[in-house]
């Protein structure tokens, strides 16, 4: 196919980078919810949590929240991270991973990226972990699982808690273990453009069952809602709580999303594989991917590394294809600079001007993905 033939995009409106998935049947569930006495946190939230638990956590109880960031903040609190505690985090992630640590006054220790997956580098962790480390946070970038085996070994050796930010990794697996069932704490996101959405929302998964009730109190001002709903109004508040709950309106959309999830993930994986198959053959393009068969990606993002990133992005935009970097290295933000002083991240330095995220969502058709691949291969 010639470059001239590539000038017409299969979809005349082009292809946007992200598009929310709103199940058609969710409108019916929303109408039903709106006709009840519950639109805030109510029975639909519990139904959504139970469905999520059955699908992804082998029945382990979980706690929904108003956002993935809420879930992370609660995880850090429940992990007993306090002021001046050292916490290892990835230098490359959404700021939502690390900002809640600023709420607590923790000492952030940035780890470099693995250039093949853009996940946290195990080798980098080894260089900075110590007996002062309180917790280790890992992010499954784009839905590609981190090296959880190595991370858990290090955590056990230094007796630190592991917190997985799995905002992008719903449905991912590591050695036949579902992400969400492995570490002390795992958080998910149901923000607008994630695999499924509740409008905005999150989920906190906790290995220690004894912390579940505390997490539920903390997401609602520290109040024991069970006792309150029994009419026992005189309840003591023993811990500082927050307004971090999910609503029945959000849970109504999310519940149908869970029902549709296999279909959604299957389509995303198809698009992901088309990109991988066609772009990995190009010597000027590196696909950010883990070829380890023990890992199953959630295919939230598909990222490529190209030396002519700005040129490629501009040309794709001319053909109505939206691309972007999505996340940026956190050490360059002013709020984190004191934690990055005199620190060098060689892998991040090498790739920070090369990575570009391609569209992966339910509105991207097979022919769209094939077209994008042919266009990229004609440009670089």
Sheet containing 185-189: order of strands: 62-65, 202-206, 185-189, 161-165, 133-139, 86-90, 107-111
> 135: left (phi > 0), else alpha (psi -120 to 50), else beta?
beta
Q: What is the largest CA-CA distance in the chain?
A: 75
What is the pLDDT, as a whole number, of residue 68?
98
Please write the tens of the pLDDT for every residue from 252-283.
999 999 999 999 999 999 999 999 999 999 99
- Kindly report the average pLDDT of the chain as a whole number: 95
Please write the tens of the pLDDT for every residue from 220-233.
999 988 777 766 66
Give the integer Cα–Cα distance in Å for 163 and 178: 15
**Residue 6: pLDDT over 50:** no
Give the integer Cα–Cα distance in Å for 103 and 82: 10
Let me know the angle formed at the C-alpha of 92 by 371 and 157, rounded to the nearest 5 degrees.
Answer: 125
What is the pLDDT, as a whole number, of residue 227?
75
Give the integer Cα–Cα distance in Å for 110 and 61: 31
Please write the tens of the pLDDT for every residue from 102-127.
999 999 999 999 999 999 999 999 99
75-99: average pLDDT: 98
Q: State if pTM tops 0.85.
A: yes
DSSP-based three-state secondary structure for 206: strand
Position 245 confidence tier, pLDDT thresholds 50, 70, 90: very high
What is the pLDDT, as a whole number, of residue 126?
98
- What residue spans of 219-247 are helical by DSSP H? 225-229
Q: Which residues of 163-197 are buried (b: 16+ CB within 10 A; e: fewer)?
A: bbbbbbbbbbbbeebbbbbbbbbbbbbbbeebbbb
316-325: average pLDDT: 97
Please report the domains of the chain, with CATH numbers, ordered by start residue.
5-20+261-379 (3.90.1150.10), 26-259 (3.40.640.10)
Compute φ and ψ for 232, nearest 5 degrees: -90, 90
């Amino acid at each position: 196919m010639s470059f001239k033939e590539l000038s017409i995009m299969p979809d005349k409106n082009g292809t946007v980078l992200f598009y929310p998935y709103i199940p058609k049947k969710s409108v019916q569930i929303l109408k039903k919810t709106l006709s009840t006495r519950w639109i805030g946190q109510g029975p639909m939230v519990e139904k959504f949590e139970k469905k999520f638990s059955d699908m992804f956590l082998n029945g382990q109880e979980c706690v929904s929240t108003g956002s993935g960031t809420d879930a992370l903040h609660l995880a850090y609190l429940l992990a007993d991270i306090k002021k001046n505690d050292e916490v290892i985090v990835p230098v490359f992630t959404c700021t939502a991973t690390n900002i809640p640590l600023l709420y607590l006054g923790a000492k952030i220790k940035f780890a470099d990226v693995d250039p093949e997956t853009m996940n946290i580098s195990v080798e980098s962790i080894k260089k900075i972990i110590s007996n002062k480390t309180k917790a280790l946070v890992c992010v499954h970038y784009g839905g590609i699982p981190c090296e959880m085996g190595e991370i858990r070994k290090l955590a056990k050796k230094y007796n630190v808690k592991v917190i997985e930010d799995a905002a992008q990794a719903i449905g991912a697996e590591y050695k036949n273990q579902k992400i969400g069932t492995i570490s002390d704490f795992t958080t998910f996101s149901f923000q607008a453009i994630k695999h499924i959405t509740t409008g905005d929302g999150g989920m906190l998964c906790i290995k220690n069952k004894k912390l579940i009730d505390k997490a539920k109190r903390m997401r609602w001002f520290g109040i024991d809602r069970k006792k309150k709903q029994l009419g026992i109004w005189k309840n003591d508040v023993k811990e500082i709580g927050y307004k971090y709950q999910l609503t029945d309106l959000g849970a109504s959309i999310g519940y149908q999303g869970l029902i549709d999830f296999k279909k959604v993930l299957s389509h995303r994986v198809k698009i992901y594989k088309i990109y991988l198959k066609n772009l990995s053959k190009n010597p000027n393009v590196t696909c950010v991917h883990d070829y380890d068969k023990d890992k199953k990606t959630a295919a939230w993002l598909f990222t490529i590394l190209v030396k002519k990133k700005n040129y490629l992005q501009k040309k794709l935009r001319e053909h109505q294809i939206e691309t972007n970097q999505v996340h940026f290295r956190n050490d360059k933000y002013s709020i984190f600079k004191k934690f990055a002083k005199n620190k060098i991240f060689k892998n991040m330095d090498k790739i920070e001007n090369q990575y570009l995220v391609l569209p992966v969502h339910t509105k991207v058709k097979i022919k769209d993905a094939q077209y994008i691949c042919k266009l990229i291969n004609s440009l670089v």
